[in-house]
Amino acid sequence: MDKETQGVLYMVATPIGNLEDITLRALRVLREVDLIAAEDTRRSGILLSAYEIKTPMISLHEHNEKERSRVVLSRLRDGLSVAYVSDAGTPCVSDPGHHLVCVALANGIRVVPVPGASALPAALSVCGFDAEPFLFCGFLPPRQNRRRRFLEAVSDEEYTIIF
């Protein structure tokens, strides 16, 4: 398919708590795309409703990502533009979206980040520790033994560590 006729996949950051933290660019993209794929349509629906955004929405989360990524890819190949939003924060950063991005890139689809609110710099700005250098580790392992081993492995680091 010709890149000129393909749609664009936007990875849109959403507020991490306060709905007013969304960017003007994110609001514009969410209004202008043909479809929004959301980790949880109920949560994203609250955001869209607050800003009177009527764009159609489908769910795309860890339990249906393979099937729904194919649906999104088909729409992108048809020339439609799609935005992906996770529940809060930036897709793919301790949130779903990685599989969708990989599928899009493997098929020559343009993927555009739409940055916004992020827990990482927010936490760094108020933690009282030196923010440079820092190490972002995402979520801690859920199982106690793995979590303990992980914390032991990073305990000697001379970085500010963010989880």
What's 3-117's CATH class? alpha beta
Question: Closest Cα partner for 68 from 24, 93, 99, 34?
Answer: 99
Domain segments of the chain as ranges: 3-117, 120-162
Is 17 a residue whose pLDDT tops 70? yes
Q: What is the pLDDT of residues 23-58, one digit of tens each?
A: 999 999 999 999 999 999 999 999 999 999 999 999
Q: What is the pLDDT of residues 65-80, one digit of tens each?
A: 999 999 999 999 999 9
Distance CA 63, CA 60 (A): 8
Global pTM reads 0.85
Residue whose pair of structure tokens reads 């989360």 in the numeric block: 61
Is 136 a residue whose pLDDT tops 50? yes
pLDDT reported for residue 26 = 98
CB 118 within 8 A of CB 90: yes
